Structure 1
Amino acid sequence: MKAINPIRMGGVEVLPLVEGGKGVAVSNGATCGGWATGGGVGTFSAVNADSYDADGNVVRQVYHGRTRRERHEELVAYGISGGIAQAREAYERSGGTGRIHMNILWEMGGAERVARGVLEGAKGLVHGVTCGAGMPYRLADIARDFGVHYYPIISSARAFNALWRRAYGKTREWLGGVVYEDPWLAGGHNGLSNSEDPKRPEDPFPRVLKLRQQMREFGLDDVPIIMAGGVWWLEEWEDWIDNPDLGPIAFQFGTRPLLTQESPISEAWKQRLLTLKPGDVLLQPFSPTGFYSSAVRNEFLHELEQRNERQVAYTTEPVGDHVAEYGVGPRRRKVYLTPHDLARVGEWEAAGFVEAMRTPDNTLIFVTPEKSREIVKDQIDCMGCLSACRFSNWSQHEPDYSTGKKADPRSFCIQKTLQDIAHDGALERNLMFAGHNAYRFGDDPFYSNGFVPTAKQLVERILTGR
């Protein structure tokens, strides 16, 4: 394996190994500080991060507000408090010398308020802000105001071009690096555009090369590109290292830090990672953000797939083939289906899926009464964890705080499931994010005989190769 030399990132020399931020409450101060002690860049998630009481116990995020707007204010307060707590722990664990970044999602509820609140409350402890899930035009302004570097997450040269021309070109001195997150390989939410096929992965090299060429047009020859998604062993990326066409390259590891001693995920989750097989991670479209995301195939995803398949289009008047009457809801309001679809509905109802729920696209999905009650309750309990949510129709923007669309029962409450799985919730009944290479835990000899490394040991192993 080629020697891995430090590179200059954010004004200092660091190993080109970056911990990928994973929220909710998964990449925390412990994993971040541990990774930073190895000489790389540690990252904690400021997405609904955990805070602690006086005894060091996690403060569970319980909401008391009667309205969504009130609960949204509670969520922002939790986010700021938790982010500060994680920044302090990362700083302490790294001995005050490690490189600490925080990760936020631009489409999370109150993203700018949370970012500014954490940076204000943890001044001097955070060196960089990594941000994706959307087009974070104001990220550069936040970084400049607090004197930290910013690291946008993008999935194409075109996206970076738009960000640079509209905003980043005015604050180039604070651009620490650009994270290229491969939309077919990375875990969590992915930046697939409408022109890209989720079922046809593209080679990341030409896409990153195009990004570098775009950056060179802007005079950013020496700004590192951080490759994220699909990185396991560095010798598999030797053509990228010290490649003059690509310029300075760093590598981000999001999935591998899940299986470390500092990782706060449950023991059951860690053991589940060791059993994954190729294809066990699914790129799927069900997120309430509207983005594709990659997660472990389990009962939770299977139910969403089945829920979306039990779907038929309807009209409110007889039109074309839609001539078969069907009554929806307790009052049996009349809609019209095709005769073929009416027969399918009869089969679903016979199997217990008797509740028809309307979607924003003039379709009906069919679920059990229990699932229908759960969906409605989750929609009512919304705390505005996203800037806009298709599941609950929440929007953080005035005056209506609504997307203007009907709440979509084909999705789910992402805050509820991520909080649950991060705090020892059932693995089969929750969303379990992971990158598509997670199956490699099972055949990697590093983890044989049940060995679980510290974050620092993982960094050292990555540096020495297989």
Structure 2
Amino acid sequence: MFKGLHPIQYGGREVWPLIEGAKGIAASDHMSAGAWAAAGGIGTISAVNADSYDEQGQIIPQIYHARTRPERHKELINYAISGAVDQIERAYDIASGRGAININILWEMGGSQTILREVLERTKGLVTGITCGAGMPYKLSEIAAQYQVSYLPIVSSARAFNALWKRAYSKAPEFLAAVVYEDPWLAGGHNGLSNAEDPKQPQAPYARVKALRDTMRVCGISDSVPIVMAGGVWHLEEWNDWIDNPELGSIAFQFGTRPLLTKESPIPQAWKDRLMELEEGDVLLHRFSPTGFYSSAVRNPFLKALESRSERQIAFSGEAAGDHQSLLDVGVNGRNNLWVTEGDLIRAHEWVKQGFICTLKTPDNTLVFVTPEEMQAIRKDQAACMGCLSQCNFSSWSETGKGMTGRIPDPRSFCIQKTLQDIAHSDNVENNLMFAGHSAYRFKKDPFYSNNFVPSVKELIDRILTGK
């Protein structure tokens, strides 16, 4: 029998311990977050280049006019600030004093601290808390304390939280409202897998969350501070033994994928339709993201093309050495100083016959074979970089120092800003990155969604509270 949930105190009011997971660019906006809060939960606006609106209420396209990356980076920051402020104000109005409104940022997004400070300055009294991951956000607690809001760091291990606590969070413990455990093998979007963890060997979340609670106790953090389980949460009855469990302390639950398929969800209809078609295994944990982090997304043609591109890859040497005794004579535009293995030379000739006649160097001393059209598109996207990340593997942008990472651009990756803007504002779901959690296949199997039923956010939360 499902135990049922109890409301918790957050932001000075009772709310359900149900958090809407933020979903990148324009996939979690004021409509979904406001409705989630109005239903008594904690709605979350993605403050990652959120949409802003003109006087007629139409979305303002984020078009970049500057000629240089540093100038385009300034444009991006201005878009991000105005968009987040617009979304927060609208969500707050929808919530009408119920629930709570959080904002989410990626610490490794370009200009994250500038954007966060300016957004909080312009929305005083409207934001209850900040969730933040994708990196080690040491400054998060300091910024939260400055603006008197809660912070909810997103971590994937007890070790990561311990490092954050010792370096920074212990100085502002009163604003720590919860710790979000985002399971790196189950959650959608960017995941916090460490180099010591095997992406192909998932670990059960219970032991990892218990280890996190044990670490929090050593740090002197009360059991009343919830750990938020994020990733793989669908029916709460499946997590019955987590509720009121003295080993784990207070537990809340985050839903990132299920809110995508609601009436208030802002994603295009084609995206919603695609979610209803997914089978188990259709979501891939991969490392193509220009952030350098692992991430999980639907294995559509966009992702399959990246997989294929990486498979058309060979190592090279600037001189004949070891097994590299064959001179590469295709795909190098007359250059004759690249040496490869005999087997790789045979593979290269086969790829050229298939039309992959161009090569691009990677930061790892390998070559990838691409078509002329692919090469042109890659170079165009790299040149158009606007610095949406603090450091970008795809374009070699860095917002620090000289504006470059010092590594050559990686053609095995992609422009994440371009593809996420496109999928959020068009029906082109097959040729763009489609983030999703690994439980997304359950839309097709769950009787709640039978006959193509799409619930309102309120109907979804009411259903979740039954354990289903």
Rounded to whole Å, the distance in 2 between the matches of 1:291 and 1:316 is 30
Mapping of residues 365-444 of structure 1, within 5 Å? 365-398=368-401, 400-444=402-446
Between Structure 1 and Structure 2, how many residues are aligned? Answer: 465
Q: Which amino acid aligns with 1:72?
A: H
Rounded to whole Å, the distance in 2 between the matches of 1:11 and 1:197 is 41
Deviations 1:228-251 (A, max 9, x none): 000001100000000011110000
Tell me the equivalent position of 1:349.
Answer: 352
Rounded to whole Å, the distance in 1 between the matches of 2:4 and 2:291 is 40
Structure 1 length-normalised TM: 0.98
Rounded to whole Å, the distance in 1 between the matches of 2:97 and 2:15 is 15
Tell me the equivalent position of 1:280.
Answer: 282
Q: Which amino acid aligns with 2:370?
A: V
State the 1:451 CA deviation.
1.4
State the 1:155 CA deviation.
0.3
State the 1:13 CA deviation.
2.7
Unaligned runs of 5+ in 2: none
Deviations 1:297-328 (A, max 9, x none): 11001100000010000011111121211255
Deviations 1:416-447 (A, max 9, x none): 00000000141110000000000000111111
1:249 aligns with 2:251: yes
What is the SS of the residue equivalent to 2:151? Answer: strand
Identity, % of aligned pairs? 62
What is the SS of the residue equivalent to 2:363? Answer: coil
Unaligned runs of 5+ in 1: none
Rounded to whole Å, the distance in 2 between the matches of 1:455 and 1:395 is 39
1:340 aligns with 2:334: no
Tell me the equivalent position of 2:47.
Answer: 46
| Deviant stretches of 4+, over 6 Å | none
1:9–1:96 distance in 2 versus 1, CA, 3 Å: closer
1:114–1:418 distance in 2 versus 1, CA, 3 Å: same
Tell me the equivalent position of 1:62.
Answer: 63
Tell me the equivalent position of 1:115.
Answer: 116
Q: Which amino acid aligns with 2:125?
A: G
1:264 aligns with 2:260: no
What is the SS of the residue equivalent to 1:43? Answer: strand
Tell me the equivalent position of 2:237.
Answer: 235
Deviations 1:3-23 (A, max 9, x none): 211123355431110000111
Tell me the equivalent position of 2:31.
Answer: 30
Tell me the equivalent position of 1:291.
Answer: 293
Q: Is the 8 A contact 1:10 1:174 kept in 2?
A: no
Rounded to whole Å, the distance in 1 between the matches of 2:71 and 2:369 is 32
Q: Is the 8 A contact 2:297 2:433 kept in 1?
A: yes
Q: Is the 8 A contact 2:4 2:467 kept in 1?
A: no
Mapping of residues 166-177 of structure 1, within 5 Å? 166-177=167-178
Tell me the equivalent position of 1:74.
Answer: 75
Q: Give the root-mean-square deviation of aligned CA atoms.
A: 1.0
Q: Is the 8 A contact 1:91 1:98 kept in 2?
A: no
What is the SS of the residue equivalent to 1:442? Answer: helix
Question: Which one of 332, 352, 361 corresponds to residue 358 of structure 1?
Answer: 361
Deviations 1:389-438 (A, max 9, x none): 0110000102x111110111010000000000000141110000000000
Rounded to whole Å, the distance in 1 between the matches of 2:327 and 2:396 is 29
Deviations 1:192-213 (A, max 9, x none): 0001000011000010001001
Bigger Cα displacement from structure 2, 138-147 vs 319-328: 319-328
Rounded to whole Å, the distance in 1 between the matches of 2:31 and 2:99 is 12
Q: Which amino acid aligns with 1:338?
A: T
State the 1:450 CA deviation.
1.7
Rounded to whole Å, the distance in 2 between the matches of 1:144 and 1:57 is 35
Q: Is the 8 A contact 2:269 2:427 kept in 1?
A: no
State the 1:330 CA deviation.
3.5
Bigger Cα displacement from structure 2, 203-212 vs 217-226: 217-226
Tell me the equivalent position of 1:456.
Answer: 458
Rounded to whole Å, the distance in 1 between the matches of 2:125 and 2:98 is 11
Deviations 1:158-177 (A, max 9, x none): 00000000000000011010
Deviations 1:142-168 (A, max 9, x none): 101111000000000000000000000
Structure 2 length-normalised TM: 0.98
1:312 aligns with 2:314: yes
State the 1:329 CA deviation.
4.0
Tell me the equivalent position of 1:224.
Answer: 226
Rounded to whole Å, the distance in 1 between the matches of 2:336 and 2:257 is 48
Bigger Cα displacement from structure 2, 213-222 vs 253-262: 213-222
Tell me the equivalent position of 1:100.
Answer: 101
State the 1:294 CA deviation.
0.4
1:116–1:333 distance in 2 versus 1, CA, 3 Å: farther
Q: Which amino acid aligns with 2:32?
A: T
Q: Which amino acid aligns with 1:78?
A: Y
Rounded to whole Å, the distance in 2 between the matches of 1:118 and 1:280 is 36
Q: Which amino acid aligns with 2:383?
A: I
Deviations 1:88-141 (A, max 9, x none): 111011113330000000010001111111111111111100000000000001
Rounded to whole Å, the distance in 2 between the matches of 1:217 and 1:338 is 54
